[in-house]
Amino acid sequence: MKAKHSSFWSFSHLAASFFFSKIMSIRIKGLENLPENMSFILAPNHQNNFDPPIAAYSIYPIECFFLAKNELFSVHPLYSAILRIYNSIKIDRTGRDISAIKKSLSVLKNGYALIVFPEGTRKIENQYKEIKSGAAFLAIKTKCPIVPCLIKYRSQSISKTLISGTRVDVFFGKPIYPSKHVSSAVKSADAMAEKWKKQMRELCL
């Protein structure tokens, strides 16, 4: 995909580059799996609050948007402002949030990447039991692929990672495209979720 990004996004990446590349020692593998000439949904695992910026940093120069639970926007006014500045789409997970769905569809139709955490919340490493199907339904609606993304911290202690520079690895799996041969959207979404889990387990090896 032709990299679509704003000047602000480029500046933010430049400002964060030293921190992510030198202090957190991020190593990225599988960039060749990112689809070219089309939008995609990036679907990482979720272990801590560094995951969203790490995922965004790793796919630069492509600008991305995030689906973020609405509770995060109530943490603090400053935090809420940062979320909005950095393309976060507020979503109410208690029901069908039509507004968030429409914004997400618009993001994908306009050539950006959308970051969605299929687990919905932070989970223990290598645990992929309860996977939300929202990302798959968005993929089916827009005909965009889902790209599995494994963020692996060499140390589970973030303070140790920051102090000692313990490496963080980011792996991109092969894109998962909506099936054209499945009888219903629900079955297609379930199939995509299972493929995501399978690839994530393989990336852990």
Interatomic CA distance for residues 135 and 115, integer angstroms: 9
Please report the pLDDT score of residue 21 as a whole number: 87
Better-predicted residue by pLDDT, 2 or 55: 55
Interatomic CA distance for residues 57 and 21, integer angstroms: 10
Domain positions in the chain: 7-204
Most confident of 94-98, 175-179, 187-191: 175-179
- Strand-pair partners of 146: 41, 176
Residue type, 110: N
What is the share, in percent, of the chain residues with pLDDT greater than 90?
61
Determine the longest span between alpha carbons in the chain, in angstroms: 52
Please report the pLDDT score of residue 4 as a whole number: 61
* pLDDT above 90 (res 31): yes
Q: How confident is the model at residue 183 (pLDDT cuts 50, 70, 90)?
A: low
- Chain centroid offset of residue 74 CA: 21
Indicate the average pLDDT of the chain: 87
Please report the pLDDT score of residue 57 as a whole number: 96
Interatomic CA distance for residues 117 and 107, integer angstroms: 16
**Which option is the CATH number for 7-204: 3.40.30.10, 3.30.1360.120, 3.40.50.880, 3.40.1130.10?**
3.40.1130.10
Spell out the residues 6+ positions from residue 137 whose beta carbon is closer than 8 angstroms to its own. 185, 189
Please report the pLDDT score of residue 139 as a whole number: 94
pLDDT tens digits, 142-163: 999 999 999 998 776 666 666 6
Most confident of 98-112, 129-143, 179-193: 98-112
Interatomic CA distance for residues 178 and 196, integer angstroms: 12
Please report the pLDDT score of residue 116 as a whole number: 95
Cβ neighbours around 117 below 10 Å, total: 24
Do 65 and 104 touch, CB atoms closer than 8 A? yes
Q: What is the mean pLDDT of residues 130-146?
A: 87
Interatomic CA distance for residues 165 and 158, integer angstroms: 10
Q: What is the mean pLDDT of residues 59-71?
A: 94
- Output phi, psi for 99, to 5 deg: -60, -45
* pLDDT above 90 (res 1): no
Cβ neighbours around 155 below 10 Å, total: 14
Is the bond into 145 cis (omega within 30 degrees of 0)?
A: no
pTM of the model: 0.89
Interatomic CA distance for residues 54 and 89, integer angstroms: 18
Residue type, 171: F
Cβ neighbours around 187 below 10 Å, total: 11
Most confident of 2-11, 77-86, 88-97: 77-86
Report which of 77, 93, 95 is spatially closest to residue 85, judged by C-alpha positions. Answer: 77
